[in-house]
Amino acid sequence: MGGEREETVAVKGKGKSGEETVGNIRFHEKDGEVHFHDDANKLKVAVPVSVWWDAWNTVSGRRTDWDYIDLKRSTLLRVSQSVLGRSDTGQDELCDLHLTLEKVRIGNTYQALQRFTEGT
């Protein structure tokens, strides 16, 4: 008790409030999920808020990449981290994230394990 993350995360409003676009990826929260859209390629990945929160804690706390497969849509969200070295201008290193959405095929082993685990 009394931990750093003891309080709960407030639920945001529904709809397009808080929607942002970075590059060609648009993202927002809706119905307990964070939706990532690549409108030009008609791709969408929906990540449960709790999963995204854990992912954010992972990528924001250390240098790593993170992937999420949206099985319903057969799409993949890839969050890649980069750290660019100092330039000759003496500026600090730049740490940034890159978002990509891709269409994926779900293999037989994955599907079998999903049926076994989820009882579907």
| Domain chopping of the chain, boundaries | 20-84+92-118
76 compared with 15, residue with greater pLDDT: 76
Is 50 exceeded by the pLDDT of residue 32? yes
Q: Give the per-residue pLDDT at 17.
A: 57
Q: In the sheet where 33-38 sits, what is the strand order?
A: 20-22, 25-30, 33-38, 43-48
Is 70 exceeded by the pLDDT of residue 113? yes
The mean pLDDT of 63-72, rounded to a whole number, is: 92
> Is the CB of residue 36 less than 8 Å from the CB of residue 4?
no
Q: Give the per-residue pLDDT at 89.
A: 67
> Is the CB of residue 64 less than 8 Å from the CB of residue 55?
no
Report the SS3 class of residue 82: strand
What's the whole-number average pLDDT of the chain? 84
Q: Give the per-residue pLDDT at 69.
A: 95
70-89 pLDDT, tens digit per residue, is 999 999 999 998 877 766 66
30 compared with 85, residue with greater pLDDT: 30
Q: Give the per-residue pLDDT at 61.
A: 77
Is 60 exceeded by the pLDDT of residue 12? no
